[in-house]
């Protein structure tokens, strides 16, 4: 059982995933990216046992700042995800009335 809260764990995992994805956006090739991914993993593993909230806040803030500095200006977005090239394409139209006046409370 982890001593961290679920929210904290989910945040750190999100940060880890974002860092990995950003790194892949720059590197493109997965075989070269593997080494970088290992380094990112090692960086996260190194701070695994830090439990002091103040020290953690500093570490996470530094990681976020580092990520923001290296952020790719044109990140890969999967076509079907928000911002992707197929997102919102031909969304099915609402077949019924947009607002059902007849069943509204006033009637």
Partner 1 sequence: MYLSIIILPLLGSIVSGFMGRKVGVTGSLFITCTCLILSSVLMTVAFYEVGLCGSPVSINLGSWIDSEIMSISWEFYYDQLTVSLGLAVLYCSSLIHIYSISYMSEDPHVQRFMSYLSAFTAGMLVLISGGNYFVMFIGWETIGVVSYLLINFYFTRIQANKASILALTMNRVGDMGLSIGFFAIFSLFGSLNYSTIFSLSPYMNETAITIISLLLFMGAMAKSANIPFHSWLPGSMEAPTPVSALLHAATLVTAGIYLLLRSSPILEYSSTALLVITLIGATTAFFAATSGLVQNDLKRIIAFSTISQLGYMVMAVGLSQYNVALMHTVNHAFFKALLFLGAGAVIHSFADQQDIRKMGGLIKFLPFTYSVMLVGSLSLLATPFLTGFYSKDLILELAFGQYTFSGFYAYILGTITAGITAFYSFRLISLVFLTVPNGPKFNYLHSHESNLAIIIPLVILALFSILFGFVFSDLFVGVGSDFFGNSLFIHPNNISIIEAEFSLNLIIKLLPVILSLIGSVLAIYLYHNNPEFINQLTDNSISKKIYGFLNGKYYFDVIYNHYFISKGLLLGYTISKELWGFVLGPYGLSTAFTNTGKNIAKLDTGIVTTYALYITLGLLSLLFVVFAPILIDVSMLSEFRLVIIYLASIILVLSFPSLNNKN
Binding positions for partner 1, rule: CB under 8 A: 25-32, 69-70, 73-74, 76-77, 79, 85-91
57 vs 79, beta carbon nearer partner 1 = 79
9 vs 17, beta carbon nearer partner 1 = 17
Give the nearest distance from C-beta 27 to partner 1 in angstroms.
6
55 vs 76, beta carbon nearer partner 1 = 76
Give the nearest distance from C-beta 38 to partner 1 in angstroms.
15
Which tokens in the block code for residue 103? 């069943």
* 3-class SS of residue 83: coil
* Rounded Cα distance, 55 and 61, in Å: 10
* Rounded Cα distance, 99 and 81, in Å: 28
41 vs 86, beta carbon nearer partner 1 = 86
Count CB neighbours of 107 within 10 A: 7
Give the nearest distance from C-beta 94 to partner 1 in angstroms.
11
Give the nearest distance from C-beta 81 to partner 1 in angstroms.
12
Name every residue whose Cβ is closer than 8 Å to that of residue 49 and which is 6 or more positions away in sequence. none
């Amino acid at each position: 059982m982890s001593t961290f809260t679920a929210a904290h764990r989910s945040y750190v995992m999100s940060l880890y995933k974002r860092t990995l994805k950003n790194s892949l956006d720059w590197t493109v090739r997965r075989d070269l990216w593997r080494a970088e991914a290992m380094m990112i993993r090692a960086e996260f593993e190194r701070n695994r046992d830090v439990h002091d909230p103040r020290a953690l806040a500093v570490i996470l803030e530094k990681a976020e700042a580092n990520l923001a500095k290296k952020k790719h200006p044109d990140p890969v977005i999967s076509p079907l995800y928000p911002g992707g090239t197929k997102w919102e394409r031909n969304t099915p139209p609402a077949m019924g009335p947009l607002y059902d006046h007849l069943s509204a409370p006033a009637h």
